[in-house]
Structure 1
Amino acid sequence: MHILVIQNHPGSPAGILGQQMEARGAWLQVVEPLTGAAIPQSADPYDGVLILGGAQSAADDAGNPYFADLFALLRGFHAAGKPMLGICLGSQLLARLFGERVYRHDHVEFGFLPLELTESGGTDPLLRGLPGRPHLMEFHEDAFDLPADATLLMTGSGCRNQAYRIGESVYAFQCHIEVTPEIVRDWARLPAATEANGGADPIARTEAEMARHMEGSARFARQVADRWIDLVARRLAAGLRKAG
């Protein structure tokens, strides 16, 4: 399986999601637009796409001219029925792709916060069997309206739209399910983390929260990655059977 990874920011790699996908035999091709890498022109060579987070706003087309090419590429993935998985900024870009707005939230969400699976989330192919109230890493200042055709899978008290699915092949998570301890520690050193944490020490906070929640977050991410790769494999096999 050939998975395209859009790494929107150098500090936001695929983390546990990427590790688990590779463990399942997927080949990840990472494209970093902020380093000057070109967005692929076609979805044809790929079996799925992972769109990661970043510090930029999903609503800022002028500041991110590569968005136009990215939206064109993602429309190609959707038209072909190829699975897409968006994380944080990626979830916001997918919301825009499906006609909804992205806007500044009334506060910055930061840290391992309690979320809740909806009734639909509890029976979803990717999420069923997972704890109904996981604590997952957040670090975002924007939010989005839920696309009309989306099914809400997870919600939170501080930001309602935390995960959704469109059809069978599009998944998006506002929360950072991909994080490793190293990623969290790198983020906690950023001035933006101190600001998001109300001026208090974000390093002490995240270390304490990781001691309680990192293991559960990692299990959550590995299951999502496993089942998403299963989805990619099923879609690929179905396409091959149809072509044959």
Structure 2
Amino acid sequence: MHIHYLQHVPFEGIGSIQDWADRGGHTVSRTRLYAGDQFPAIDRFDLLVVMGGPMNIYEYSEYPWLKVEKGYIKQVIEADKAVLGVCLGAQLIADVLGGPVVDGREKEIGWFDIKRSAEVADHPLALFLDDQCEVFHWHGDTFNIPPGAIHLASSGVCDNQGFIYNDRVVALQFHLETTAESAAALIENCAGELAEGGAHIQSGAEMMADGARYAAINQRMNRLLDAMAATLN
């Protein structure tokens, strides 16, 4: 299987997804939007991963490639490809499917629980989650669930933490790919957001205190990727 990912900033890569690919003998390539890389032909990959970033999906003047990226994501989905979106990536997918992206009630940064939606309890692409589990968050915006999509999960301050579309597309507002190293990069490069403070904004020290948490979410990502890969067979 070949995985291609869309990267929006140098400090936010695919984290543990690379480890999963390496163990399974899968190949990986990327488009660095910030560097002006071109998009590959859609038939060149099996799974598209759309990663996160600190920008808003409507900041076209500062990031003109966002419009082109949205068009590309739409083409990939219409081609019935497997697509995984993480944080900003999930918001981009929601937008192209008709689910508006809006400001969240408050920023959610750090380790907080989510609850899986009852309607996906038996869905093969939702079994990577328990009914309630802890995941890593770093977002301020949120999305509405697009028409035809199935609601995946919610948290105390964010009703829409993910969705599944057409049994091929999974969008996660939260992070499961984050490693201790990638979290440290986020803390270093997005320190201004932590300085804002808030009931659901943890300190860098709190986020880095327990390395076992990263291993736990990475295992959930492995289970999701296994399930998505199974849909390609």
Q: TM-score, normalised by structure 1?
A: 0.87
Letter in 1 for 2:106: H
Listed one character per residue, the Cα deviations across residues 6-41 of structure 1 (whole Å, up to 9, x for unaligned) are: 01111111011232133222211111110221233x
Question: Residues 185 and 66 (structure 1 numbering): CA distance in 2 closer, same or farther, change over 3 Å?
Answer: same
Report deviation, 1:193: 4.2
**Matches for 1:84-163 after TM superposition, within 5 Å:** 84-128=83-127, 130-163=129-162
Rg bigger for which structure? Answer: 1
Question: Residues 129 and 55 (structure 1 numbering): CA distance in 2 closer, same or farther, change over 3 Å?
Answer: closer
* Aligned alpha-carbon RMSD (Å): 2.0
Letter in 1 for 2:205: A
| Contact 1:110–1:196, Cα closer than 8 Å, also in 2 | no
**Structure 2: gaps spanning 5 or more residues:** none
| Contact 1:187–1:193, Cα closer than 8 Å, also in 2 | no
Report deviation, 1:196: 4.9
Match of 2:19? Answer: 19
| Contact 2:164–2:170, Cα closer than 8 Å, also in 1 | yes
Distance 2:211 2:28 in 1: 30
**Matches for 1:183-194 after TM superposition, within 5 Å:** 183-189=182-188, 190-194=190-194
Distance 2:148 2:216 in 1: 30
Match of 1:204? Answer: 205
**Matches for 1:54-69 after TM superposition, within 5 Å:** 54-69=53-68
Distance 1:130 1:71 in 2: 28
| Contact 2:109–2:202, Cα closer than 8 Å, also in 1 | no
Distance 2:112 2:84 in 1: 21
Distance 1:132 1:215 in 2: 19
Question: Residues 150 and 138 (structure 1 numbering): CA distance in 2 closer, same or farther, change over 3 Å?
Answer: same
| Contact 1:122–1:129, Cα closer than 8 Å, also in 2 | no
Listed one character per residue, the Cα deviations across residues 52-107 of structure 1 (whole Å, up to 9, x for unaligned) are: 00011112223221122222222221222111110000000001110121122231
Distance 2:156 2:202 in 1: 23
| Contact 2:153–2:161, Cα closer than 8 Å, also in 1 | yes
Match of 2:228? Answer: 228
Distance 1:201 1:116 in 2: 20
Match of 1:43? Answer: 42
Secondary structure, counterpart of 2:75 in structure 1: helix
Distance 1:229 1:8 in 2: 24
Question: Residues 215 and 69 (structure 1 numbering): CA distance in 2 closer, same or farther, change over 3 Å?
Answer: same
**Structure 1: gaps spanning 5 or more residues:** 235-244
Distance 1:201 1:166 in 2: 31
Letter in 1 for 2:33: P
Distance 2:112 2:197 in 1: 13
Secondary structure, counterpart of 2:132 in structure 1: coil
Question: Residues 201 and 167 (structure 1 numbering): CA distance in 2 closer, same or farther, change over 3 Å?
Answer: closer
Aligned pair count reads: 231
- Of all paired residues, the percent bearing the same amino acid is 22
Distance 1:21 1:124 in 2: 23
Match of 1:240? Answer: none
Secondary structure, counterpart of 2:222 in structure 1: helix
Report deviation, 1:192: 2.6
